[in-house]
A and B are shown apart, each in its own frame.
Chain A
């Protein structure tokens, strides 16, 4: 279900990223409630083709009365460039209500340590979590490491500086830069001490956690960034026995590790969707989701990248191969849940239910 929302502000944050704020009409306040970390799905018609993209909210639910998303240009990216080039104040955009399984559950009485790991535009949901925690949970601590290419590509730099100053007793932020822009004047400018050189990787995370051990013992770990940063961070945390149920991950694309697996040709699919039952044939290599769309069904979906989980359904019979899965855990897969946008039939007969 899409709603039309009006753009209140467009702010250029860095040379290749903008934030877009959307107004929430009073009657839609309830529909657009969200938790820090969740995303919005936007629908555009570009060159006569309908396209959907999901963008994390960087606004904080209880603190801001507009919905703000951050959009960074992707090289040759259809939608990110369209947004950065054409969207302006007063425009109307088709938006689906907030969703996503990457979020923090914030409560004023919490006493927690939040380790936040962000790289590049992965800061957007992290920024929402960060602000909500600092302003709502007065006893909790935040230890954050934020990776960027150089000083100029740091999103929300000013706001982060301000938070650091305001909450210096319980917020630690380390910037790490993969290709810092060294100037000769930096040699005698102590400000360069604020930056660490390198990426958010196993080495820097090991250093970071040793340097800043947790105080409040109920710790949670939030990771958001491109594919390799996610797996490196996850690996570093697993190396030191951080339990998986304390790690929360949001992947920002860039993960193409999927193996090629032969799909079953003309698999017979029985599907229960919106209370109706249908039988269709899935061509070889096509996903369940795309097959349903081709047959004019309206399955729920948004990212089509195996990241958001909107298209989740339950496999009752048969086998599928998921090209990419960045959300479902072992237990859910055991229970039969699949991402229909990533699932290719590998058995002759299948039965799925959209619950």
Chain B
């Protein structure tokens, strides 16, 4: 018997293959990872004015964020304390009170229960002041890190800086708050796609340095993969690589959008960290993107990309686009398919790196069920991050199961 079957389980590296295919593992991750970490909830401009609110699904918890008149965000579990009905939907204006649509139980913006119909007749046991009856909304935590909103299901969560502080120095110098979101159509994110693969397959693809020069040989070749630097800070991965010299020399003209001016010339490059467990950021020369991964099922994952760019006029974007399309850089780099074929139907001929990645992830997921599947070998530098990520997942689950 070989080593793998001795242990009874076929392994990816540090995690068993079933962690990528079974409902049991999916449920475990939902409970121990996605419901016990700071979860990405959007960008600060999503909740701008007092009374604005959003609700987000964060693991098993639905949490809403509302801004008070003091400018401070409050977060509560989006669940009426009566019979659990979700109080708020999507985005909107909450004004001063939150009312459950089911029986009109009403809460103030501090989560206090302030009124309910027929209190005296129907609930004689609720005496005295309502907000002291133990039926206030369950409080959660919300905070801001680098222009992004995060929520945590616990009221007394460890500070967001305890979680992200270590990786912060490795992030790009971009001042995110100055940038504005680029939207294709009104109110829809830059990119949304359901991918037929386990969420960890997508993360591993994101942090895999080895594949950049191969899967993306014709698409991401304006970045200098040979000069990439990467590592871990706490449970988070950081990555940086400069532009290739030909692009760097002409970046002012060749950049497809206006350059982000909070990044000085010597700092230009691609900063591509992965923040545990499920949010990547791609901080480039002209765009700053969030890459949010939401597991839907063991083999289905939603990816939502939001993109921010310089806050300049449409005309500036048009001028830059014109300059960029005339630049010689793109005659050699950045948009060729890996294989010849129909760019409309074959992702490997598309010249689009997202389609290339999705293809690779989905093809890998398909093989996980095969009795003949095994991981052959691991690139010691280029794929080091993949094993490390799996060990972080494993340790996080073990640590939180012990705490029970």
- Give chain A's interface residues, CB within 8 Å of chain B: 109-112, 139, 209-210, 213-219, 237, 239-243
Give bound CA distance, A213 to B71, whole Å.
6
Stretch in B160-168, B191-199, B333-341 touching the partner: B160-168
Q: B69, B143, B165: which contacts A218 (Cβ < 8 A)? A: B143
Please report the C-alpha to C-alpha distance between residue A243 and residue B161 in the assembled complex, in whole angstroms. 23
- Against A, the Cβ 8 Å flags (1 = close, 0 = not) of B176-190 are 000000000000000
> Are B142 and A217 interface neighbours, CB within 8 A?
yes
Given contacts A139-B161, A139-B165, 19 further A-B contacts (CB under 8 A): A109-B161, A111-B143, A111-B160, A111-B162, A112-B159, A209-B70, A209-B71, A210-B71, A214-B72, A216-B144, A217-B142, A217-B144, A237-B70, A240-B69, A241-B68, A241-B69, A241-B110, A242-B68, A242-B72
Query: A216 with B69: in contact, given A109-B162, A241-B109 (CB under 8 Å)?
Result: no
Let me know if A109 and B70 touch, CB within 8 A: no
When C-beta atoms are compared, the residue in chain B nearest to A243 turns out to be B110
Q: Name A221's closest neighbour in chain B (CB-CB).
A: B70
Closest chain B CB from A233 CB (angstroms): 13
Q: Which residue of chain A lies nearest to B160 when distances are taken between CB atoms in the complex?
A: A111
Cβ-Cβ contact count across A and B, 8 Å cutoff: 49
- Interface residues of chain B, those whose CB is within 8 Å of chain A, are 68-73, 109-110, 142-144, 158-162, 165
Q: A110-B159, A111-B159 are in contact. Are A216 and B71 (CB under 8 A)?
A: no
Q: Are B110 and A214 in contact (CB under 8 A)?
A: no
* Closest chain A residue to B142, Cβ basis: A217
CB-CB < 8 A to A243: which residues of B? 110
The 7 A-B residue pairs with the shortest CB-CB distance in the complex, in nearest-first order: A111-B161, A111-B159, A240-B69, A213-B71, A139-B161, A240-B70, A242-B70
A138 to chain B, nearest CB (A): 9
Chain B contacts for A240, CB-based, 8 A: 68-71
CA–CA, A49 and B109, complex, Å: 53
Within the complex, the shortest CB–CB distance from A12 to chain B, in Å, comes to 39
Q: How far is the CB of A303 from chain B (nearest CB, A)?
A: 31
Residues from chain B with a CB closer than 8 A to the CB of A241 are 68-70, 109-110
Interchain CA distance A112-B72 in the complex, whole Å: 12
CB atoms of B144 and A215 under 8 A apart: yes
At the interface, is chain B mostly helix, strand, loop or mixed? Answer: loop
Nearest CB of chain A from residue B14's CB, rounded to whole Å: 28
Q: Is the CB of A109 within 8 A of B159?
A: yes
Measured between beta carbons, the chain A residues less than 8 angstroms from B70 are 209, 219, 237, 240-242
User: What separation, in Å, do the CA atoms of A35 and B172 have in the docked complex?
Assistant: 37
A216 contacts which chain B residues (CB < 8 A)? 143-144
Chain A residues near B159 (CB, 8 Å)?
109-112, 139, 218
Query: Can you sample 18 A-B contacts with CB below 8 Å?
Result: A109-B158, A109-B161, A109-B162, A111-B143, A111-B159, A111-B160, A112-B159, A139-B161, A209-B70, A209-B71, A210-B71, A213-B71, A217-B143, A237-B70, A239-B69, A240-B71, A241-B69, A241-B70
Contacts of B72 in A (CB 8 A): 214, 217, 219, 242
Q: Which residue of chain A has the shortest Cβ distance to B177 in the bound complex?
A: A215
Per the bound structure, the CA–CA distance linking A130 and B177 in Å amounts to: 26
Chain B nearest CB: distance from A249 CB in Å? Answer: 17
CA distance A112 to B165 in the complex (A): 13
Chain A residue numbers with a CB within 8 Å of B162 are 109, 111
- Chain B residues with Cβ below 8 Å from A215 are 144
A111 to chain B, nearest CB (A): 4
Tell me the complex Cα distance, A139–B69, Å.
Answer: 24
Which chain A residue has the least Cβ–Cβ distance from B159? A111
- Whole-angstrom CA separation of A213 from B72 in the bound complex: 8
- Expressed in whole angstroms, the minimum distance between the Cβ of A22 and any Cβ of chain B is 35
Beta-carbon nearest neighbor of A110 in chain B: B159
- Chain A residues closer than 8 Å to B68, beta-carbon distance: 240-242
Nearest-Cβ distance from residue A186 to partner chain B, whole angstroms? 33
**Nearest chain A CB to B396 CB, angstrom units:** 19
A241-B110 Cα distance, complex, nearest whole Å: 9
- Chain B residues whose C-beta falls within 8 Å of the C-beta of A219 in the assembled complex: 70, 72
Cβ of B165 and Cβ of A217 under 8 Å apart?
no
The complex places the Cα of A239 from the Cα of B110 at a distance, in Å, of 14
Cα of A65 to Cα of B161 in the assembled complex, Å? 29
CB distance from B115 to the nearest CB of A (A): 18
State the CA gap A301–B72 with chains docked (Å): 38
Bound together, the chains give a CA A219 to CA B71 distance in angstroms of 10
Least CB distance from A48 to B in Å reads 52
In the complex, how many angstroms separate the beta carbon of B113 from the nearest chain A beta carbon? Answer: 16
Question: A219–B160 Cα gap in the complex (Å)?
Answer: 14
The residue on B at minimum CB distance from A237 is: B70
CA distance A226 to B71 in the complex (A): 27
B71, B158, B165: most-surrounded residue (chain A CB, <10 A)? B71
Highest count of chain B CB atoms <10 Å: which of A110, A112, A210, A243: A243
A217 touches B73 (CB 8 A): yes
B35 to chain A, nearest CB (A): 20
> For the complex, what is the distance from the CA of A242 to the CA of B68, rounded to whole Å?
8
Most buried by B among A112, A213, A241: A241
What CA separation (Å) do A242 and B162 show in the bound complex?
Answer: 25
Q: How far is the CA of A189 from the CA of B384 in the complex (A)?
A: 60
For the complex, what is the distance from the CA of A239 to the CA of B159, rounded to whole Å? 28
Cα A217 to Cα B68 with chains together (Å): 11
A-side contacts of B142, CB under 8 Å: 217
Distance, CA A239 to CA B50, complexed state (A)? 13
- Contact among A110, A214, A239 for B71, CB-based, below 8 A: A214
Give every chain B residue within 8 A of A217 (Cβ-Cβ). Answer: 72-73, 142-144
Contacts of B158 in A (CB 8 A): 109
Give the residues in chain A near B110, CB-CB below 8 Å: 241, 243
Once bound together, how far apart are the Cα atoms of A215 and B161, in whole Å?
13
